[in-house]
Amino acid sequence: MRVLVIGANGQLGTDLCWYLASEGDEPVPLTHRDIEITDMASVKKAFSKHMPDVVINTAAFVRVDDCELNPDQCFRVNALGARNIAVAAQEIGAKLVFISSDYVFGEDHSRKEPYTEFDRPAPINVLGRSKVAAEEFVRHQCSKHFIIRVSGLFGVAGSSGKGGNFIETILKAASQQPEVRVVSDQVFSPTYTRDLAPKIEELMKTEYYGIFHITNKGSCSWFEFASEVLRLVGQKTRVVPITSAEWKAPAKRPGFSVLDNYHLRLLGIKEMRPWQEALVDYLREKGHIR
């Protein structure tokens, strides 16, 4: 299968290209230099050149606070970019995998139950609203679509858009500061891109079109995640829990955005392992632990 991976040098895109090649698929990696998703002509040109069977769109404007400060650019990339890709994929009859986010949820402040694919999105920030708009475009413009909502990604390549990932940021801060302050009132499911890539590959070969939540199993707050990272590497720096109000970021974040991988379970597809196990593998892969 020829698979166009858009955002190929990003955190998820890197692991997708590596995994697809290892499975004997034919990944065609496209970086921002090769394609501009906000430009319909650029998208159509790339599609007609490569004629893929499957398109995976991982490209996005991912910096949550910058989305809040620059909503036009956020909607241009995340929503209109997703629309352009959906239109072009439909035109050549390709399957489309679109990567969405747990931030499509968040309005229900008392929520303590993981969200299923059958819960109604209700975002509380610009990034979340742009992903809801993107999902609508994908659903309406491309019939053979998989919308995959993920959360708290960590991958060996690090986020291209964010210039790293949370784990590396915490490790660096902990090596330079006497203590690190981390929010404890945002709960999510950390997800290793190396675990996610095989699930996407498995799903794209089916005709189970629709929305999927795919995350590592379990959940934690960013404070708990940071504490586990430092515990595993043997770093003794104190981690101090703070509230989102104390952090004072421009964008609101959901207090709870854990995704139930219900659709996978209904289909009898194996869910992913607990995030703690995935984290150990990540830290080994990066050489932080043996």
Ligand X SMILES: NC(=O)c1ccc[n+]([C@@H]2O[C@H](COP(=O)([O-])OP(=O)(O)OC[C@H]3O[C@@H](n4cnc5c(N)ncnc54)[C@H](OP(=O)(O)O)[C@@H]3O)[C@@H](O)[C@H]2O)c1
Which CB, 36 or 185, lies closer to ligand X? 36
Among the residue ranges 9-17, 233-241, 255-263, 275-283, the one whose residues contact ligand X (CB under 6 A): 9-17
Q: Which residue has the tokens 């402040």?
A: 109
Query: Within a 13 Å sphere around the CA of 170, how many CA atoms are in the beta-carbon half?
Result: 27
Residues 30 and 6: their CA atoms lie apart, in Å, by 5
Task: Establish if 274 lies at the interface with ligand X (CB under 6 A).
Answer: no
Residue 187 is inside which H or E element, if any? Answer: strand 187-188
Task: Establish if 38 lies at the interface with ligand X (CB under 6 A).
Answer: yes
Q: Which residue has the tokens 């999510």?
A: 188
Closest distance of CB 101 from ligand X, Å: 4
Interface residues for ligand X in 147-186 (CB under 6 A)?
150-153, 159-161
Task: Establish if 77 lies at the interface with ligand X (CB under 6 A).
Answer: yes
Among 4, 37, 46, 264, binds ligand X (CB under 6 A): 37
Task: Establish if 59 lies at the interface with ligand X (CB under 6 A).
Answer: yes
Task: Establish if 197 lies at the interface with ligand X (CB under 6 A).
Answer: no
Q: Contacts with ligand X: how many residues (CB under 6 A)?
A: 28
Residues 226 and 220: their CA atoms lie apart, in Å, by 10
Among 1, 18, 23, 36, binds ligand X (CB under 6 A): 36
Burial 224-247 (b: 16+ CB within 10 A, else e): bbbbbbbebbeeebebebeebeee
Confirm if 142 and 92 have CB atoms less than 8 A apart.
no
Binding site for ligand X (CB under 6 A): 7, 9-13, 31-32, 35-38, 58-60, 62, 77, 81, 99, 101-102, 150-153, 159-161
